[in-house]
Every structure is written in structure tokens, then in C-alpha cells.
């Protein structure tokens, strides 16, 4: 399918290593994909769902030991440890290869190797990048078809270039003790073995689009960020684009697909989704920052997704979607998960594949669907998909937003003083952990720019790269903000309504970018005047409520500064002096 000598040479080497029974090139044709779906159904790897209610949709289950990203088994391998940094698991490149080569030796004997050429970003975009994933999993092929631009077009995009990411995946025996997800950023290479769960095996997603791409951006002068991209269209047709970074389970997909509240909808405002998870950003010919979404689909967390929390995401799953580790309603031949509605089916198979008797669920945690169960849905299904989704040049970014779950510390919204202070704000992000990463849930951890699990090189250098991008952008840099939808009262209830009403905060952000409203200068940044947050149509939230949501407890912020200091200490002399200076200045302002 290609005459690219770099691809052919690498493929020959990998075939010799894993020794598949046969090699199949994935051309992206519907006929080939239909045959693979039929094969997966015949072997029981997938199950077909109700063609009337969920046309083209499939159900898949992973092994019970293989249900989430495994950060403890995810490595950044470089020649020098300092280049991977203190946050990443590291092993020297050749040492890791020596460890993994025996696991890969002959691992595909008796199996088919699928060769998946794929493009991250719109075909024809100068900002898109090509990868090739070798896998022994039909599940991976069918998911990559949804999540990327896969097949012949990707090879056309690559041409005879050697600039492609080399991905090798084998589910092997899905052994937990031999599971590795390894990035070699200096070699444009990803190796994944002994997992069959999406986030570990769809190598275009976090592995390439963030870990490898963040390093490529560092070297090439652009940014790969864990950010949604949305556009707010005013009644006059003007669209302003916002990117936003949140750790998992902080409402990122909900915000990306936000439905305007009535107060804005009746005026003619619309919200458009460009991306729900990842933004690649470059400086355009006009000196502004432009963002593309490198993905073609949504890999969303199912539990909690419903018609109220995220109507557009739910609509996106209604056809040609793959559901992983959700419950199977046998009467309807449809799917169910906690939070979909209040009526769990009784004739049901839980996510582990076991038939449930009555209401006694056997899965750990007593859930019908796994807390990290997923849907892989084509972006084209999304009712609010932006018409700029495939724009090869991307969309211009007006504002960048950081956020996380903070019960008491961060106000509803504040603006950084300038770009460098905004980088400090992003670097200091913290949130409660969620089921998307294995480990304890509900623990507050520092997650700079929501990139802690995804930065493919030393995070001290990554902060430096952000500062450098700000210098290049100058006065054309997007304004940087921080939001917190998750402030709670003394009983632990959320005070701000969230969901679509978050648009009220975004509208203040855009007003600030245009210089239309004033703000109050505080030790941590510019905070709105409570009266400037539009509360029309909100019965339970008063200006006084907002005033409370915008309050700043200096003692809590000084405590928080200790956590930032602890984080910064990890980077030693790789921490940019500018960030240490920003922290010292903020502490001084708080102490006044």
C-alpha cells in the first residue's frame, strides 16, 4: 500500500520480531471494516446491539485486570533520565528495549498483524502528523477508525517522509505483571504490550497526541495540550474560540459540548465543539495562536453521561459507536450505565460479562458498568460539531482556561495578570483524582496544565516552552483564566449549578478579552465584579451567592502555595526562574 522506504524497512523489522501468521494493511475502506466487524462478532470479541435503537453500534468488554490507563506501567524512555523528568516513570531507552524485546519475540505467532496508517489532524493540514500502528487487535482497528483519519489518505499525507510515529501494540496475554505502555520520544516510537484497553492501546490518543506530540511541539515550536476547543457564536455570527484544560472528571466533555442556557439561546448564541480532549496549537501567519483537534472521535467516560448532563455527547453515541465495559440490557439489546437514568435494567449482563440476578451486582464496587467504562463515538455524530472541525489551519484562540476540582480554594473564575502569570496558574493546577486513572479516588494532586500523566519530556522544560511561546506571541497571546465549578457549601453540596450555566462564566471571560468589563485586582489575579456574571433565569443563585463564590481565603491560598513549592522543588534547576519568581510574588501579595 506504500512505497515509503522508511515505513517498509520498519515494518520488515517488526514482522521479523513478532512473527505474525499474516499481515493485513488497513486501507480504511468500508468493505474491509465491515468484514472485520463480522469477524469480531463471530469470535465473540464484540456483540452487535439493537440496529433500530443503536445502528452500527457494538459492545466490547476488556479483561477485569485491564480497565484504565496504568500510570505505574507507563514510561517515557530517553537516553538521559533528566530529559524525561521527575514526574515520568523512566528507563534508559536501550535498557527498556532489552526488557521488552523478549516479550514481543514471536508474540503474534498464529495471529494477524493489522497495519494501521492514520493521520492525527485534518487530512491536508500542514499541522497534522502521521502514525502507523501495528496491532493484533480488531478492537484497536475499529476504534482507530473512529478516533483518527485512518487508511490510504494517511499514507498520502505522509508521502515519502520519515516523519511518522512508529507504534507497536500486542495484547499478548493481557498479563498485568508484563503490561507496559512505553514512549520513546527521541525515536518517535511507542510500544504497548499486554493491554487491550482503549487508553493503553489506541496509540494515536494519549500516547501520540500528547506524550510524543508534546515533545515534537517542544522541538518544533508548537504546543500539544490536554485541552478542549469550543467556539461561542454571537447573534451577529462572530465566533470566538476558547481552549480549556481540566483533569479527568472535571466536566471537560460537558463544557466542550455545552448547550447555551435559555438566556443566551433566545438571543441567538450558539456553542460549537471543535474538540473535547486534545488541542495542537501553532502560531499562524498573523501571529495569533491557532488550534486543531488531532482526533476524529470522542473517547468519553460513559457513567454520568445523560440527556441532562451532556445531551450532545449522548446523541453522539447513538450510531456507529463502540461501547466498552458498560452493562448490556438483554431485553432491549442496548447499553446502560450508572447515571444514564434511574432505571437500571433487570435482565442484564454487567460489565464483567456476568448475568445479574435481580439487583445483586457481582462486580467490584457493585456497579453494572465499570466507573471508567467508555464510548468511542465519531465526532461527525455530534449535533454541535463546528463547521471548522476539518479546517486545515485550525481556529484562532481568544482565551485559554485552566480548572480543577477545589472545594474551597479557587474562586469561580479569575484572570491571570499576564501570560507568564497564566503559565504559573496552569502549573499550579490541582484537583481530586478520578476513576480514569488507576489508584486512589478523591485525593488532591497537582496536575500542571492537566498534563501530569501526558507530558512526554521534563515538565520543567515544558513550563519553559510555555513561557517561550508567550514571548513569541507577544500582545497577540490568548488571555489565560482559571475556573472552578466545584466549590461546595459546608454540607458538601456544589454551589454553582454547572453544566450549561458555565456559559455565563465563559461570556464574562470573552467580555474581559474584549475589554468590555472591569475586574477586581486580587493577590491571585483579576476577579469579576459579581454583578458582571449574568444570572438571568437562575432562581437559586443570587449576586450574593456569586460574591461568595468569588471570595478568596488568603490562608487557604498560602497553604496551597506550599503544595506548589513542593511540586516546583521536584524540577531542580530545570524549573524556569520565572515560575519561582511568580510564586514568590504571589505569596508576598497574599501576606500583605
Tell me: the pLDDT tens digits for 19-76?
Answer: 999 999 999 999 999 999 999 999 999 999 999 999 999 999 999 999 999 999 999 9
Quote the pLDDT of residue 407: 87
What residue numbers bound the domain in which 375 lies?
Answer: 295-383
Active site residues: 250
Check whether residue 199 and residue 86 sit in a common domain.
yes
Quote the pLDDT of residue 251: 86
Which residue from 88, 204, 189 is spatially nearest to 455, judged by alpha carbons?
Answer: 88
CA distances from 466 to 95, 421, 471 (A): 31, 11, 9
Which residue from 510, 420, 497, 428 is spatially nearest to 464, judged by alpha carbons?
Answer: 420
Check whether residue 439 and residue 357 sit in a common domain.
no
Q: Per-residue pLDDT averaged across 348-377, rounded?
A: 85
How many other β-carbons are positioned within 10 Å of the β-carbon of residue 21? 11
Check whether residue 258 and residue 327 sit in a common domain.
no
475 burial via Cβ count (<10 Å: 0-12, 13-18, 19+): exposed
Which residue from 503, 538, 531, 496 is spatially nearest to 517, judged by alpha carbons?
Answer: 531
Check whether residue 12 and residue 41 sit in a common domain.
yes
pLDDT category at 250 given cuts 50, 70, 90 is confident
| The last residue of a domain, from among 160, 193, 220 | 220
| The last residue of a domain, from among 188, 220, 252 | 220
pLDDT higher than 60, residue 442: no
Check whether residue 438 and residue 468 sit in a common domain.
yes
Q: Find the CATH number of the domain harbouring 277.
A: 3.90.228.20
Check whether residue 256 and residue 136 sit in a common domain.
no
Q: Per-residue pLDDT averaged across 537-554, rounded?
A: 97
Identify whether the C-beta of residue 513 lies closer than 8 Å to the C-beta of residue 399.
yes
pLDDT of 96-109, one tens digit each?
Answer: 999 999 999 999 99
Quote the pLDDT of residue 448: 98
Total domain count, the chain = 3
Check whether residue 458 and residue 378 sit in a common domain.
no
pLDDT higher than 70, residue 358: no
Quote the pLDDT of residue 359: 64
Identify whether the C-beta of residue 484 lies closer than 8 Å to the C-beta of residue 444.
no
56 assigned to some structural domain: no
Give the residue with greater pLDDT, 38 vs 364. 38
Check whether residue 76 and residue 164 sit in a common domain.
yes
537 assigned to some structural domain: yes
58 assigned to some structural domain: no
519 assigned to some structural domain: yes
pLDDT of 490-500, one tens digit each?
Answer: 988 999 999 99
Give the separation between CA 33 and CA 39, rounded to whole angstroms: 10
291's enclosing H/E stretch is: strand 289-292
Check whether residue 213 and residue 200 sit in a common domain.
yes
570 assigned to some structural domain: yes
Q: Find the CATH number of the domain harbouring 140.
A: 3.40.449.10
Q: Per-residue pLDDT averaged across 71-88, rounded?
A: 97
Check whether residue 359 and residue 443 sit in a common domain.
no
| The last residue of a domain, from among 348, 363, 383 | 383
Amino acid at each position: 500500500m506504500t512505497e515509503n522506504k522508511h515505513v517498509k524497512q520498519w515494518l520488515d523489522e517488526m514482522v521479523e520480531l513478532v512473527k505474525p501468521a499474516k499481515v493485513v494493511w488497513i486501507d480504511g475502506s468500508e468493505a474491509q471494516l465491515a468484514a472485520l466487524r463480522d469477524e469480531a462478532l463471530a469470535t465473540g470479541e464484540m456483540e452487535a446491539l439493537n440496529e433500530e435503537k443503536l445502528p452500527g453500534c457494538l459492545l466490547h468488554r476488556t479483561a477485569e485486570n485491564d480497565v484504565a490507563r496504568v500510570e505505574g506501567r507507563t514510561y517515557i524512555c530517553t537516553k538521559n533520565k533528566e530529559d524525561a523528568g521527575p514526574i515520568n516513570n523512566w528507563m534508559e531507552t536501550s535498557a527498556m528495549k532489552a526488557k521488552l524485546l523478549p516479550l514481543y519475540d514471536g508474540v503474534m505467532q498464529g495471529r494477524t498483524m493489522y497495519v494501521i496508517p492514520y493521520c492525527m489532524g485534518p487530512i491536508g493540514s500542514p499541522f497534522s502528523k502521521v502514525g502507523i500502528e501495528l496491532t493484533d487487535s480488531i478492537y484497536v482497528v475499529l476504534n482507530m477508525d473512529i478516533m483518527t483519519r485512518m487508511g490510504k489518505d494517511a499514507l498520502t499525507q505522509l508521502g515519502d517522509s520519515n516523519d511518522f510515529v512508529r507504534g507497536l501494540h500486542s495484547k499478548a496475554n493481557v498479563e498485568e505483571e508484563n503490561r507496559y505502555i512505553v514512549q520513546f520520544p527521541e525515536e518517535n516510537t511507542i510500544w504497548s504490550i499486554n493491554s487491550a484497553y482503549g487508553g493503553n492501546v489506541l496509540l494515536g490518543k494519549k500516547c501520540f497526541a500528547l506524550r510524543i506530540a508534546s515533545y515534537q511541539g517542544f522541538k518544533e515550536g508548537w504546543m500539544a495540550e490536554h485541552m478542549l476547543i469550543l467556539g461561542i457564536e454571537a447573534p451577529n455570527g462572530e465566533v470566538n474560540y476558547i481552549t480549556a484544560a481540566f483533569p479527568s472528571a472535571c466536566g471537560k466533555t460537558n463544557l466542550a459540548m455545552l448547550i447555551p442556557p435559555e438566556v443566551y439561546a433566545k438571543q441567538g448564541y450558539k456553542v460549537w465543539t471543535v474538540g473535547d480532549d486534545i488541542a495542537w496549537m501553532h502560531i499562524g501567519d498573523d501571529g495569533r495562536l491557532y488550534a486543531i483537534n488531532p482526533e476524529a472521535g470522542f473517547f468519553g467516560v460513559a457513567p454520568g453521561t445523560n440527556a441532562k448532563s451532556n445531551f450532545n455527547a449522548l446523541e453522539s453515541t447513538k450510531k456507529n459507536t463502540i461501547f466498552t465495559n458498560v452493562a448490556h440490557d438483554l431485553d432491549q439489546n442496548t447499553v446502560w450505565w450508572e447515571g444514564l437514568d434511574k432505571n437500571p435494567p433487570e435482565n442484564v449482563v454487567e460489565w464483567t460479562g456476568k448475568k445479574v440476578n435481580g439487583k445483586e451486582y457481582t462486580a467490584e464496587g457493585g456497579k453494572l458498568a465499570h466507573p471508567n467504562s467508555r464510548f468511542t463515538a465519531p465526532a461527525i455524530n455530534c449535533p454541535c460539531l463546528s463547521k471548522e472541525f476539518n479546517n486545515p489551519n485550525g481556529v484562532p484562540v481568544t482565551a485559554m482556561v485552566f480548572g480543577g476540582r477545589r472545594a474551597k480554594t479557587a474562586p469561580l473564575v479569575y484572570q491571570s495578570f499576564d501570560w507568564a502569570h497564566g503559565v504559573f496558574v496552569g502549573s499550579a493546577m490541582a484537583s481530586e483524582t478520578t476513576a480514569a486513572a488507576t489508584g486512589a479516588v478523591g485525593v488532591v494532586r497537582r496536575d500542571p496544565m492537566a498534563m501530569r500523566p501526558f507530558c512526554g519530556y521534563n515538565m520543567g522544560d515544558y513550563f519553559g516552552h510555555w513561557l517561550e511561546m508567550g514571548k513569541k506571541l507577544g500582545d497577540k497571546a490568548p488571555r489565560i483564566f482559571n475556573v472552578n465549578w466545584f466549590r461546595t457549601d459546608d454540607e458538601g453540596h456544589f454551589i454553582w449549578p454547572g453544566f450549561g450555566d458555565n456559559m455565563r462564566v465563559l461570556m464574562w471571560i470573552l467580555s474581559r478579552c474584549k475589554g468590555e468589563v472591569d475586574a477586581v485586582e486580587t493577590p491571585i489575579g483579576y476577579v469579576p465584579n459579581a454583578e458582571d456574571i449574568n444570572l438571568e433565569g437562575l432562581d437559586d443563585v443570587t449576586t450574593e451567592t456569586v460574591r461568595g463564590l468569588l471570595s478568596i481565603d488568603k490562608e487557604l491560598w498560602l497553604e496551597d502555595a506550599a503544595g506548589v513549592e513542593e511540586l516546583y522543588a521536584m524540577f531542580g534547576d530545570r524549573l524556569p526562574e520565572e515560575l519561582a519568581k511568580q510564586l514568590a510574588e504571589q505569596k508576598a501579595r497574599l501576606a500583605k
